[in-house]
C-alpha cells in the first residue's frame, strides 16, 4: 500500500493506493471490504474532477485526459498529450492575463481619474486589444484542424457511377488501413468507415455517383454526396481509367485538397492518364500503397502543426465570443463600455480553462498601481 499525503498527490487530497493481484476474486473481496468501511467506487471522471477542483490542472487539461482515453490513433494520442502538457491552456491563460492587465489599466483610468497615471496608458490599451484581436483571429483561422484530428479527418470518395468508389473504399479499408470502428454512417447514400491511416484518424466516406438523374431519391443521394464532398477535409476523385475524359469532373473541387485517382488501371495497360492522376486498381490492389502514401503526405502536411490547435467546439465558441467582445471594445466610444466588453472577453477566455475569478482583477489593479495604499 502506498500513501500519498495531500496536496502532493494526483488529486491534491490524501490518496492511498493499493497494489493487489488483478484477479476478479481478489479485487471483488477488496472492494467489498472497503465498502464495509464506508468507502465507495469513484464516479466516472471523479478523480479528474477532484484534481481540477484542487487546481492540479485546468479544464483544457481535464478534457485532454478524456481525449487521451478515447484516442484511437497515434495522431490523436499526440494531440491529446500536447494538450495535457498544458500548451493550449498556457496559450489561453497568456491571453487572459494580458487581457486582464489591459482591463485593469482601463478600470484604473475610470475609477481613479485623480491619480497620476502614466499618460500613454490609453494608447497602450488600444494597441494591446488590437494585438489580442489579431492573435485570437489567427488561432481561429485554423480550418478546424484540431477538431478534425480529434473527430477524424473526413476524406470523401467522389466520382461518376461505376468508377469503383465502393470497391476502392473496401480495398483501402481492408488492405491498407486498420478499421478502427465499424460502419458509422446512417444514410443509405453515404457510407463512412473510420480507419487508421499511418497514425491519422481518417473517416472515409463513400458517396453516391455523380451523375444527372431524374429519379428523386437518386437526386437526394447526389445532393448528400455533394454536401459531403464539400465538407470533407480531402477528396479522392475517382474515375474509370478507360474514360480519362471523366477526370474533368474533379474541376468542381479545384485545389490541392482533391486527389485525382484513375481506377481500374488493370484494364488499360499503359494508357496515358490525365496529368496528376494517381493510377490504382481496387481490384488488384495495384497503386493503393502509393495512393495511401499520397493521402498521408497531404494529411501530415496539414495536421502536423507546429502551433497548438483548437480541439473542441466549446473552445472555439468561447474564443469567438472573446473575439467579438474585443472587437466591440475597439469600437466602443465610452471607456466604461469598453471596459465592459473587455470584461466579457476575459470571462469568455476564462471559461475555456475554467478559471474566472473577480478577485484576480482587483489583485492586478492594486499590484500594478499601488492605488489606495
Interface with ligand GDP by CB under 6 A: which residues?
161-167, 209, 263-264, 266-267, 281-283
Whose CA is closest to 258, among 291, 236, 227, 285?
236
- Rounded Cα distance between 363 and 351, Å, is 19
**Chain residue whose CB lies nearest ligand GDP:** 164
Alpha helices (H) along 269-312:
288-303
Distances (CA, A) of 97 to 41, 53, 314: 38, 20, 20
Kindly tell me which of 91 and 247 has the beta carbon lying closer to ligand GDP: 247
The least distance separating ligand GDP from the CB of residue 204, rounded to whole angstroms, comes to: 12
Kindly tell me which of 73 and 281 has the beta carbon lying closer to ligand GDP: 281
Kindly tell me which of 61 and 263 has the beta carbon lying closer to ligand GDP: 263
The least distance separating ligand GDP from the CB of residue 340, rounded to whole angstroms, comes to: 57
Kindly tell me which of 137 and 286 has the beta carbon lying closer to ligand GDP: 286
State the residue for C-alpha cell 496539414: 302
The least distance separating ligand GDP from the CB of residue 292, rounded to whole angstroms, comes to: 15
Q: What distance, in Å, lies between the first and last C-alpha atoms of the chain?
A: 52
Question: Pairing between strand 278-279 and 178-181?
Answer: unpaired
- Rounded Cα distance between 210 and 159, Å, is 6
- Rounded Cα distance between 177 and 202, Å, is 10
The least distance separating ligand GDP from the CB of residue 246, rounded to whole angstroms, comes to: 11
- Rounded Cα distance between 283 and 299, Å, is 25
Kindly tell me which of 94 and 161 has the beta carbon lying closer to ligand GDP: 161
- Rounded Cα distance between 348 and 325, Å, is 9
- Rounded Cα distance between 79 and 304, Å, is 9
Kindly tell me which of 129 and 262 has the beta carbon lying closer to ligand GDP: 262
The least distance separating ligand GDP from the CB of residue 188, rounded to whole angstroms, comes to: 13
3-state secondary structure (DSSP) of residue 332 = coil
Kindly tell me which of 208 and 345 has the beta carbon lying closer to ligand GDP: 208
The least distance separating ligand GDP from the CB of residue 159, rounded to whole angstroms, comes to: 6
Kindly tell me which of 150 and 165 has the beta carbon lying closer to ligand GDP: 165
The least distance separating ligand GDP from the CB of residue 206, rounded to whole angstroms, comes to: 7
Q: Which three cell numbers stand for residue 245?
A: 475524359
Which residues are CB-neighbours of 15 under 8 A, at least 6 positions away?
Answer: 3, 4, 6, 9
The least distance separating ligand GDP from the CB of residue 278, rounded to whole angstroms, comes to: 13
Q: How many CB atoms lie within 10 A of CB 206?
A: 25
Amino acid at each position: 500500500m502506498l500513501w500519498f499525503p495531500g496536496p502532493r498527490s494526483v488529486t491534491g487530497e490524501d490518496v492511498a493506493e493499493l497494489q493487489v493481484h488483478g484477479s476478479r476474486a481478489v479485487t471483488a473481496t477488496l472492494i467489498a471490504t472497503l465498502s464495509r468501511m464506508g468507502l465507495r467506487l469513484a464516479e466516472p471522471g471523479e478523480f479528474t474532477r477532484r484534481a481540477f477542483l484542487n487546481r492540479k490542472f485546468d479544464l483544457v487539461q481535464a478534457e485532454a485526459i478524456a481525449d487521451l482515453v478515447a484516442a484511437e490513433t497515434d495522431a490523436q494520442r499526440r494531440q491529446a498529450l500536447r494538450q495535457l502538457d498544458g500548451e493550449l491552456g498556457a496559450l489561453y491563460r497568456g491571453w487572459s492575463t494580458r487581457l486582464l492587465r489591459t482591463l485593469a489599466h482601463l478600470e484604473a483610468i475610470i475609477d481613479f481619474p485623480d491619480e497620476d497615471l502614466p499618460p500613454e496608458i490609453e494608447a497602450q490599451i488600444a494597441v494591446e486589444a488590437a494585438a489580442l484581436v489579431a492573435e485570437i483571429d489567427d488561432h481561429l483561422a485554423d480550418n478546424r484542424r484540431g477538431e478534425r484530428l480529434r473527430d477524424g479527418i473526413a476524406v470523401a470518395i467522389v466520382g461518376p457511377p461505376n468508377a469503383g468508389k465502393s470497391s476502392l473504399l473496401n480495398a483501402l479499408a481492408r488492405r491498407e488501413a486498420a478499421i478502427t470502428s465499424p460502419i458509422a454512417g446512417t444514410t443509405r447514400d453515404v457510407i463512412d468507415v473510420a480507419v487508421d491511416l499511418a497514425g491519422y484518424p481518417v473517416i472515409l466516406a463513400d458517396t453516391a455517383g455523380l451523375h444527372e438523374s431524374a429519379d428523386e431519391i437518386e437526386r437526394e443521394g447526389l445532393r448528400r454526396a455533394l454536401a459531403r464532398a464539400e465538407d470533407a477535409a480531402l477528396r479522392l476523385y475517382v474515375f474509370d481509367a478507360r474514360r480519362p475524359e471523366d477526370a474533368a469532373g474533379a474541376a468542381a473541387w479545384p485545389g490541392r485538397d482533391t486527389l485525382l485517382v484513375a481506377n481500374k488501371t488493370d484494364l488499360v495497360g499503359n494508357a496515358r492518364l490525365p496529368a496528376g492522376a494517381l493510377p490504382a486498381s481496387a481490384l488488384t490492389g495495384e497503386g493503393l500503397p502509393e495512393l495511401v502514401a499520397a493521402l498521408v503526405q497531404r494529411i501530415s502536411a496539414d495536421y502536423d502543426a507546429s502551433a497548438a490547435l483548437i480541439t473542441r467546439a466549446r473552445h472555439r465558441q468561447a474564443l469567438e465570443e472573446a473575439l467579438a467582445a474585443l472587437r466591440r471594445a475597439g469600437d466602443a466610444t465610452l471607456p466604461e463600455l469598453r471596459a465592459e466588453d473587455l470584461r466579457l472577453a476575459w470571462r469568455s477566455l476564462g471559461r475555456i480553462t475554467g478559471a474566472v475569478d473577480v478577485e484576480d482583477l482587483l489583485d492586478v489593479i492594486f499590484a500594478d498601481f499601488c492605488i489606495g495604499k
